[in-house]
Structure 1
Amino acid sequence: MSDAQSNINNRPPSVAALFLERIEATPDGEAYRYPVPAAGGDGPDEWRSYTWAEAAERVFAVAAGLTDLGVEPEERVAIASNTRVDWILCDLGVLCAGAATTTIYPSTNAEETAYILADSQSRVLFAEDAGQLAKVRERREELSDLRHVVLIDPNGESAEGTDDPEGFVVTLDELIERGKAYLEKHPDAVRDTIASLRADQLATLIYTSGTTGRPKGVRLRHDSWSYMAKAIAQTGLARPDDVQYLWLPLAHVFGKVLLSGQIEVGHVTAVDGRIDKIIENLPVVQPTYMAAVPRIFEKVYNGVANKAKAAGGAKYKIFKWAAEVAREYGRVTQENQRRTGTPSAPAGLRAKHAVADKLVYGKLRAAFGGRLRACVSGSAALAPDIGYFFSGAGIHILEGYGLTESSAASFVNPGEAYRTGTVGKPLPGCEVRIAEDGEVLLRSPGIMEGYHNLPDKTAEMLESDGWLHTGDIGELSDDGYLRITDRKKDMFKTSGGKYVAPAEIEGRFKAICPYVSTILVHGADRNFCSALIALDEVSIMGWAKEHGLAGKSYSEVLASDEVRKLVEGYVEELNSGLQRWQTIKQFRVLPRDLDVEHGELTPSLKLKRPVVEREFGHLLDEIYAGTRED
């Protein structure tokens, strides 16, 4: 047995136990870095820190406060908040109290928030602010199990005019003070609870945002997270001297799993979930690694391309040349790494790359803080052309793969040996096999216990011997790299009998068109493929200003003949690289961008195909009107 496998097999039963080990190992080491807005909102944020010992003091107080409120082991405590350091400390407090965290996206509406709280039977809710509390008050009659709401940020909150029971709402500061008082009487209470935790106890109930129907609660045990912590550490991707920039939503399993890995490795995590602050924060935080979803990299790439285009002909020509050099350099060095173990390139390509680095790539790396060693991309597929661009520019995007049902991390690309277009190799302790129909099946200690209160749904996904049906179609290379080709349910057959993988086509278009926000390829049982295309407002409005459409609104620009011709050119470029049956015969530019608020994207920015096809069904009807089936 290897040392890595032995380390995983001998893991403690919970992340709470790992947290104790971390506190004892590096009590004075910096754990979390977080922003505090300047007084009056003027000027840059001030970044402050918690050491591991300081974090533990607050975590133990939260845990003791929950115990004093009567929370029992495995009872659910929900968190509805944006990503912030308090989310992490409250989550750890829940785990150290022996309870289980229910995650709720802060963007979730009142109806679905109430559904999740009721279905999970959550006893306590950590609500970020008055807006989250208002959702509970709106649906109070549906929440008979909810005893308390702990308000993280009480600014602007008032109980006047409400029918809250006495003690129903407490602030986080009040809970912490209550916990400290409890610990004075019972100093060993939290440590005793941690010591009593079993590996098979429920730790987290994550509700999948889902692309159809009600969200399902995925039951993840304490052992799932301790396994993930050890497995992530064994990959070597994170180091003790790293600074991670964490902005991902912690209600999503991708963000959540990063917390476990950090506790095991012991590096610093800078936490700020404000997406509009990412560009501003990166040069300040200067992270060495960060995780993101593909949409972020697509927006960065499109932003750089559009900035170069706006600067004029010469600069745009330089950018386009540099982008092609980056892609070629990325492909060649990765191929040589695969064949020889060294990421080398021919002398001529190295010379071109050195020039392009001075002109373009260096500035791009500086925008990411200048110290970025690697990014981890997950949650959806990254277009290979965009991956190769960043690879050649010296920003190494390591694609990974997993599901909420597998505690997020099942595959990840291995450091310098990463391969764009694949999701890498399985983490230590994870088994994989490809079913006869191409579906990827997984088995590991990170696999869920099942869906909460949904035994029939559990049986559909989880076999009795522990194999999880992912619903994804994939291919394994001879040396163990996995390539995901599409979602099983998203692949479709045209009326001519040809199979089409829409995600592959959509990814290609995103790498070609710098103005696209989202594209949906449609064609199930149709006689040709079509596309609904949403354009990014900032990018297309910048183009419009330079092409005679200044003064027109976003919706007017989208409806213009000029934009249609612009997009048509990119569609023709896309089609030139596709098989005949894959080509986009017709398309429509959508009248607005797709978003989470309209329910067209999940909070992790995945496309909800059925919702979009229903919302814009009239456009699809228009496309296929008068056509006949083959």
Structure 2
Amino acid sequence: MTTLSTAPTTVSVGARFLATCARFGTTEAFRHPGTDGGWTSLSWNDLSSRAQVLAAGLLALGVGRGDRVAIAASTRIEWVLADLAVTLAGAATTTVYPNTNAEDVAYILGDCGAVAVFAEDADQVAKLRADGHWIGAIRSVVTFDHVEDQSAIGWDDLVAIGRERLRTDPSSVREAAASVGADDLATIIYTSGTTGRPKGVELTNANWRYLVEAVASQDVLRPEHLQLLWLPLSHVFGKMLLAIQYEIGFSTVIDGRVDRIVDTLAAVRPTMMAAAPRIFEKIHGKVQSVATTQGGIRAWVFRWAFRIGIDAMRRLQDGRGVSIGRRAALAVADRLVFRAIRSRLGGRLEVLVCGSAALATPIAEWFAAAGLPLLEGYGLTEATCVSFVNRPNRHRIGTVGQALPGTEVRIADDGEILLRGPGVMRGYHQLPEATAEVIDSDGWFATGDVGEIDADGYLRITDRKKDLAKTSGGKYIAPTVIESALKAACPQIGTAVVIAEGRKFASLLVSPEPDTTAGMPPDAVEAAVTRAVAEVNAGLNRWETIKQFRLLPRDLSVEAGEITPSLKVKRAVVAEHFADLIQSMYQEHQS
């Protein structure tokens, strides 16, 4: 393993990007959906040229060092190019989810003082207007798609402006990129805001440079890797994957069509992909559902294969040997079942990273048995996305791995995880008091998560501190642990929300998973959830067990304010919106 350098080779993300482009030249940097239904490839040279033209366009529009430029769009190649243009111009990117409502968009752009916005389409442009004028400090709006708005600048128009700027001042972009210092702001990413207003996390060039060099030092990712990237780039997870690519030089297939992930995996055959647990839960549920529906000998072989695979995986995790007989059975299971699953996902996946939420141990074991180990990691936006991660040769299921080099960790008296190191944010934008609440005078950042570290430095997350529920009897319950276990036990469960705060017992709200409940009658779905609740309850303490549950009449949504754009549940909002349904569970139990 290589060691982490004490000083980055270049002080800014933009300068490092240009150096990587020069290094890899004509090799592929990105592949994206083309207009003809196929794929279009961009080399590192192409990427550098196009990004510099757009950056020159921003400079011509008056965007300068330290200015904030927002991007409100879905995951697509234009997002990547816009972000690079902002970086090369010496400005700072502010990310905005495309499904963020107009009120929150106005708050974010006003709070960060954005002077320009890249807007995907007419829907995003409409959120930027108030009384016929651009909101806040916005001077320029550039659109990805054609929009009938004479005040907006089209993508091709910005390209033309940039080319003219480079014709008259060919060194302007490189000079702008070179002027950026390590402590200069690179990104403002607004937290999802499960409670209260979102806060703008300020990440500097030094934050990002530390992260990518720490990841590169682990020798896990290589230039020859091919990544499938579909995650929202407005989230720090997606942004991190781009930053790592610019450090290491691998190629990325970028395609934000989430409903086509499995088909895209089979088509492009990537070697690496990162995702939130929800995607892996969906894949697991779909495969399980298909196998069960087949019935007969096929279903029996499927179940047998996973019994063999999970047993072998657990033995390896515990340091026990796998006998010759078990290895032979595992080879048969692989040939009959596991190989087909891997083939459906492209057949070449080497690195699967899981983060942004808790991964249920049964899901992790299932994928590991199939030869697709999920490397679970942990981090927060405030710590530049990742602080802990499992490595392929140091993988311990049920943990989020060991700390990246350079990151310190300790556990507070109440169990809260505290982090310190070069990845910790500069602070919350224009919120010194809020910053002081989470970063103490010694630089320790209070994560708000509860966990424990074993003797080998592996971190296990117990729960989100603010999510811990205290029953009326004074007992604490960790909702996310129970919710993850339920989703792993029942493919028919889409979202599970445990209700327990101030209550006599724990209850549950469930929204069915559309992919696995299509065509199922409601009583069959309810029966499946009932079995899962009984199974999970068997492993819980008495006060943690679910006594009642209700199926929700609809799925939770971002539009209703019940989940964040990054799919985190806003528990208080859910409790308010379904108050009558919740109350019915406690009234029924009393009667």
TM range, smaller chain: over 0.9
In structure 2, the residue matched to 1:111 is 103
Please give the alpha-carbon distance, in whole angstroms, between the structure 2 residues aligned to 1:54 and 1:616: 52
Please give the alpha-carbon distance, in whole angstroms, between the structure 1 residues aligned to 2:514 and 2:8: 51
In structure 2, the residue matched to 1:42 is none
Structure 2 counterpart of 1:376, one-letter code: V
TM superposition shift of 1:169: 1.0
In structure 2, the residue matched to 1:405 is 382
Please give the alpha-carbon distance, in whole angstroms, between the structure 1 residues aligned to 2:465 and 2:290: 38
TM superposition shift of 1:47: 1.0
Task: Please tell me whether the aligned partners of residues 420 and 445 of structure 2 are also in contact (alpha carbons under 8 angstroms).
Answer: yes
Please give the alpha-carbon distance, in whole angstroms, between the structure 1 residues aligned to 2:453 and 2:131: 48
In structure 1, the residue matched to 2:20 is 22
- Given the alignment, which residue of 35, 43, 51 partners 1:51? 43
How many residues end up aligned between the 2 structures?
590
Please give the alpha-carbon distance, in whole angstroms, between the structure 2 residues aligned to 1:496 and 1:267: 54
Q: How does 1:574-613 map to 2 (within 5 A)?
A: 574-613=536-575
Please give the alpha-carbon distance, in whole angstroms, between the structure 1 residues aligned to 2:311 and 2:27: 42
Task: Note if 1:153 corresponds to 2:145.
Answer: yes
- Given the alignment, which residue of 427, 431, 434 partners 1:450? 427
Distance change (3 Å), C-alpha of 1:20 and 1:538? closer
What RMSD over aligned residues (CA atoms) do the two structures have, in Å? 1.7
TM superposition shift of 1:238: 1.0
Structure 2 counterpart of 1:188, one-letter code: S
In structure 1, the residue matched to 2:314 is 331
Task: Please tell me whether the aligned partners of residues 8 and 231 of structure 1 are also in contact (alpha carbons under 8 angstroms).
Answer: no
Task: Note if 1:389 corresponds to 2:366.
Answer: yes
Q: How does 1:349-498 map to 2 (within 5 A)?
A: 349-498=326-475
Please give the alpha-carbon distance, in whole angstroms, between the structure 2 residues aligned to 1:55 and 1:334: 43
User: SS in structure 2 opposite 1:363?
Assistant: helix
TM-score normalized by the length of structure 2:
0.97
Structure 2 counterpart of 1:4, one-letter code: T
Please give the alpha-carbon distance, in whole angstroms, between the structure 2 residues aligned to 1:565 and 1:273: 35
TM superposition shift of 1:139: 6.5
Task: Note if 1:616 corresponds to 2:562.
Answer: no
Please give the alpha-carbon distance, in whole angstroms, between the structure 2 residues aligned to 1:145 and 1:207: 18
In structure 2, the residue matched to 1:529 is 506
Please give the alpha-carbon distance, in whole angstroms, between the structure 2 residues aligned to 1:28 and 1:236: 24
Task: Please tell me whether the aligned partners of residues 94 and 101 of structure 1 are also in contact (alpha carbons under 8 angstroms).
Answer: yes
In structure 1, the residue matched to 2:228 is 245
- Given the alignment, which residue of 213, 234, 237 partners 1:230? 213
TM superposition shift of 1:138: 5.2
TM superposition shift of 1:446: 1.6
Gaps of 5+ in 1: 39-44, 550-556
Task: Note if 1:131 corresponds to 2:123.
Answer: yes
Deviations 1:46-78 (CA, angstroms, capped at 9, x unpaired): 111111111011111111111110012111100
User: SS in structure 1 opposite 2:227?
Assistant: strand
User: SS in structure 1 opposite 2:42?
Assistant: strand
TM-score normalized by the length of structure 1:
0.91
TM superposition shift of 1:626: 6.9
TM superposition shift of 1:230: 0.8
Gaps of 5+ in 2: none
Task: Please tell me whether the aligned partners of residues 517 and 536 of structure 1 are also in contact (alpha carbons under 8 angstroms).
Answer: yes
Larger mean Cα displacement after TM superposition, 601-610 or 101-110: 601-610
Task: Note if 1:33 corresponds to 2:31.
Answer: yes
User: SS in structure 1 opposite 2:518?
Assistant: helix
Please give the alpha-carbon distance, in whole angstroms, between the structure 2 residues aligned to 1:21 and 1:148: 30
Distance change (3 Å), C-alpha of 1:626 and 1:291? closer
Structure 1 counterpart of 2:424, one-letter code: I
Q: Report percent identity of matched pairs.
A: 49
In structure 1, the residue matched to 2:253 is 270
- Given the alignment, which residue of 159, 176, 180 partners 1:193? 176
In structure 1, the residue matched to 2:282 is 299
Deviations 1:229-256 (CA, angstroms, capped at 9, x unpaired): 1111112221111001000000000000
Please give the alpha-carbon distance, in whole angstroms, between the structure 2 residues aligned to 1:365 and 1:139: 54
In structure 1, the residue matched to 2:75 is 83
User: Hey, which bits of structure 1, 4+ residues long, moved more than 6 A?
Assistant: none
Task: Please tell me whether the aligned partners of residues 8 and 230 of structure 1 are also in contact (alpha carbons under 8 angstroms).
Answer: no
In structure 1, the residue matched to 2:56 is 64
Structure 2 counterpart of 1:50, one-letter code: L
Distance change (3 Å), C-alpha of 1:315 and 1:108? same
Structure 2 counterpart of 1:330, one-letter code: M
